[in-house]
Amino acid sequence: MATVKDFNWDKGMTVSELVARFGHIGFQSIELAKASETIVKMKKASAKIYLTFTSNMVTSGLRGFFAQLIALGMADVLVTTAGAIEEDIMKANGEKFLVGDFSAHDVALYEKGVNRVGNIYITNEQYARLENAMLPMLSKLYGKEKRWAVSVLLREIGLMVNDPCSILYQAARHEVPIFCPAITDGSLGFHLFLFQQKHPDFVVDVVADFRNILLSSSHDDVKGLISLGGSISKHHAILACLLNGGLDYAVYMTTARHTSGSMSGATTSEAKSWGKVKDDSDAVTVIGDVSITFPLAMVRALEVLSSEGVVKNA
């Protein structure tokens, strides 16, 4: 059994050394260090890695990190929400989101046409420009096919995007499918609705895409999950893996608590009662802000994997 050790700073300390020392501090520091090691293990085991995240993480600067991880081969399947897709497109088109304040006067922001996501601001004008970007994309897709599974639609959109920092861009070029089961839950869904009013035979088929995610792995595959936040993106990947025998590796990172009984707060331990995570799996739940915990855990994992030649620089 490991012992608690006092933490000390050393000049020139690497992220890998920092996170390794977390493993002896206690509390969530230990869980974060375990999460990083689990990511290393799943990659070394050649697991099919499912990376899931919610839209607020794409609102933040994690968006470019997700794109880089795709290029580095650290994600084989993505599951996310409509807001993540639309904001990835917005940023790819040059939109800049401002850093604001958690305690801002929200009524005043509303009157100025500013929408607050935590301490990040997005303007109504930026959403209006998204509509201008979506129409030619949808028109081009409609000219090719009338019925689209969501992941196929997103791959085609990714091929139209010209920004290496884009999740859609990297996923399309590295053949990493993006599943978005709630694609109508956002501005993107509204644009799809408006387009369909003029083109009633244009169909985005969510059920067909459920088949696609079920076929993205098999019982024979080693499967790993890195779930950031919760919601439908987390459950959709877990459900697909459950129907294919369950997960061999799982890392959950969330601010939600298990006492709520929610999917967002459900731990990897709770998942074992459903067979979502195998009894003998390497699984860990980290409670904390993903904008802090995930970069630390993943950068340490990348440093280890890079030093061993498992991951090469993109």
Query: pLDDT by residue (tens digit) across 201-214?
Result: 999 999 999 999 99
DSSP secondary structure letters along the chain: ----------TT--HHHHHHHHTTT-THHHHHHHHHHHHHHHHHTT-EEEEEE-HHHHHTTHHHHHHHHHHTT--SEEE--HHHHHHHHHHHTT--PEE--TT--HHHHHHTTEEEETTEEEEHHHHHHHHHHHHHHHHHHHHH-SEEEHHHHHHHHHHH---TT-HHHHHHHTT--EE-TTTTSSHHHHHHHHHHHH-TT-EEEHHHHHHHHHTT--TTS-EEEEEES-HHHHHHHHHHHHTTT-EEEEEEEES--GGG--TTT--HHHHHTTTSEEEEEEEEEEES-HHHHHHHHHHHHHHHHHHTTSS---
Residue 71 lies in a domain: yes
Residue 32 lies in a domain: yes
pTM: 0.96
Predicted confidence band at 4 (pLDDT cuts at 50, 70, 90)? very high
pLDDT digits (tens, 9 = 90+) for 171-180: 999 999 999 9
pLDDT at res. 2: 83
Average pLDDT value for residue range 85-109: 98
Percent of the chain with pLDDT over 70: 99
Residue 125 lies in a domain: no
pLDDT digits (tens, 9 = 90+) for 116-146: 999 999 999 999 999 999 999 999 999 999 9
Residues belonging to the active site:
276
Token reading at 227: 């779930």
Distance CA 126, CA 214 (A): 35
The total number of structural domains that make up the chain = 1
pLDDT at res. 120: 98
Token reading at 295: 């970069």
Residue 177 lies in a domain: yes
pLDDT at res. 86: 97
Predicted confidence band at 1 (pLDDT cuts at 50, 70, 90)? confident
Query: Containing domain of residue 279, as a range?
Result: 15-94+146-186+200-307
58 contacts 167 by C-beta, under 8 angstroms: yes
Residue 262 lies in a domain: yes
Residue 206 lies in a domain: yes
For β-strands 178-179 and 120-123, DSSP reports them as unpaired
Check pLDDT > 90 for residue 260. no
DSSP secondary structure letters along 148-180: EEHHHHHHHHHHH---TT-HHHHHHHTT--EE-
pLDDT at res. 32: 98
pLDDT at res. 267: 85
Residue 178's alpha-carbon distances to 116, 123, 201, in angstroms, are 26, 26, 24
pLDDT digits (tens, 9 = 90+) for 18-41: 999 999 999 999 999 999 999 999
Residue 240 lies in a domain: yes
Check pLDDT > 60 for residue 314. no
Residue 3 lies in a domain: no
218 contacts 243 by C-beta, under 8 angstroms: no
* CATH number where 224 lies: 3.40.910.10
More confident position, 279 or 228: 228
Least confident of 59-63, 192-196, 277-281: 277-281
Least confident of 142-146, 217-221, 236-240, 265-269: 265-269
